[in-house]
Amino acid sequence: NAGVMQNPRHLVRRRGQEARLRCSPMKGHSHVYWYRQLPEEGLKFMVYLQKENIIDESGMPKERFSAEFPKEGPSILRIQQVVRGDSAAYFCASSPPTSGGASYNEQFFGPGTRLTVL
């Protein structure tokens, strides 16, 4: 069973460009989480998604950031008009659902995408 996959592993963008980060959860997992690790800081929660639904986006910046998890295909974290402060490692995690649709199970993390904004 392949783990959580993220691509690209490294992404370089110039200020003002768009960044698209992709995450494929583990097989059988329908819950996806995005976290951001800024330089010299801890990991911070950004957003929690289930298939076609955003469940909790309390950690997402109000502007320029969006996330989706379509019925088919990977989850996408999209950053529009990137600025230097967006440079960070972005981690995706996934977990399986429990009965009733909620998920309190262990989260498994991908290798991350390291975004550098020039």
Task: Name the residues that contact another protein, by CB under 8 A.
Answer: 31, 33, 35, 41-45, 48, 55-56, 58-59, 91, 93, 95, 102-104, 106-112, 114
- Smaller CB separation from another protein, 60 or 82: 60
- Smaller CB separation from another protein, 15 or 44: 44
Bridge partners of 90, per DSSP, are 36, 113
- Smaller CB separation from another protein, 3 or 17: 3
Smallest distance from the beta carbon of 82 to another protein, in angstroms?
21
d(CA 37, CA 16): 21
Smallest distance from the beta carbon of 107 to another protein, in angstroms?
6
